[in-house]
Amino acid sequence: MKVDVLLGLQWGDEGKGKVIDVLTPNYDVIARFQGGPNAGHTLEFDGKKFVLHTIPSGIFQGDKINIIGNGVVIDPIVLKNEIEKLEKAGYDLSQKLVISKKAHLILPTHRLIDAAQEAQKGDAKIGSTLKGIGPTYADKISRTGLRVGDLLHNFTEKYAKKIADHTRLLDQMGFSYSLDGLEDEWMEATKTLLRFQLIDSEHVVNELIADNKRILAEGAQGTMLDIEFGSYPFVTSSNTVSAGVCTGLGVPPTQIGEVYGIMKAYCTRVGSGPFPTELFNEEGEEMRKKGNEFGSTTGRARRCGWIDLVALKYAIMINGVTQLIMMKSDVLDQFDVIKACVGYKIDGEEYDYFPYEINTNLEPMYVELPGWKTDMSKMQKESQFPQAFNDYLDFLEDELEVPIRIVSVGPDREQTILRYINE
């Protein structure tokens, strides 16, 4: 049984948590393969709302195995708080959650270095969440990081050496900081990690594949934030694309199955960086208000704009997407005209593909379609869709050349409509 992948195709915040929760009944295992607590997967069901930052989104469904893979970076404090909230809500994670020994640890000083580096950039800020993600991945690449497995072997000595290295760096940067209380809280939080089974995740995952277990790999952020293929340098520090499953879980490329690509019916972005279809008018504000577009991790207002098919085609190509999932369709219910970007004009030259760089000299080229002006939030099946919305779906499928299999019309688990169910 091959590993299916679910990931975002835009700049993150596409609604991955909800979709994974909906798909989980079809799988035995849910595995996170990259990212850290800069991600926030929101799930709403039975009148409850949960935001997961590190724990896979399958934790609410039955007896599924949930794996935090080696490609993830873990802040023990964030994970501890997340676990405690879930346990307080009545969820027993002890038999459901396992953690890779090779996952890297976010130290208290990683957050400080993150803040110091962002401060030094001035107006060229990346828009970091300041969770210490970038510095942790930097230590990983420089082969000086600490991993979950280090908690089991002479950790105090390893930790002290690494903290000393970090404090020297902070002093050299001239950054004012204090570690008072941070280290004690962090060390206490590591005890929570040790409550769970720490595994050699690459072996476990491949054993599960051999046993024909159904595995869904869960991505964080979005394709356009990928360190290699995103809108560099305004990107995250990991591989958010489907190839990241291979390195972040130890899955052979030949064992990748379906690739579910998630997109919104429009587009959003948090933080700095280029955003070709961004709206600075009342339409953008309407999207933000109706879609509750505020970051689940940072609380920052998301920038909103029309759907960008140039970027989406690029993301579909990079990931090998086999099925599309469109979220927040209901947010566009009130618009008379729906726009879709089908090309870029950069310095007078037209592009129908995603170029090396997207900058301020870019002008999006739009196709306009009629809006459906219908409240879709109560709809439960495809036959209830208004014709104008069906026309929008047909247009997108023609442009993207991938079927849109799932449509979401609201935040709740039940507001999810499957298409092509008679095939």
- Sorted by sequence, the CB contacts under 8 Å of residue 290 that are 6+ apart come out as 330, 331, 333, 334
Strand partners, 52: 41
Structure tokens at 340: 């879709």
Upstream peptide bond of 355 is cis (omega within 30 degrees of 0): no
Annotated catalytic residue within 4, 21, 28, 41: 41
Annotated catalytic residue within 13, 28, 75, 226: 13
- The verdict on whether 75 is a catalytic residue reads no
- The verdict on whether 41 is a catalytic residue reads yes
Distances (CA, A) of 277 to 218, 291, 304, 305, 309: 27, 17, 8, 5, 10
DSSP state of 401: -
Annotate 216-232 with DSSP letters as a single string: EEE--S-GGG-TTTSST
* CA distance linking residue 410 with residue 376, whole number of Å: 8
DSSP state of 12: S
Output the 3-class SS for 232-274.
CCCCCCCCCCCCHHHHHHCCCHHHEEEEEEEEECCEEECCCCC
CA distance between the termini of the chain? 22
User: Around Cβ 67, how many Cβ atoms within 10 Å?
Assistant: 27
* CA distance linking residue 332 with residue 366, whole number of Å: 16
**What count of residues does the chain have?**
423
**Residues with catalytic function:** 13, 41
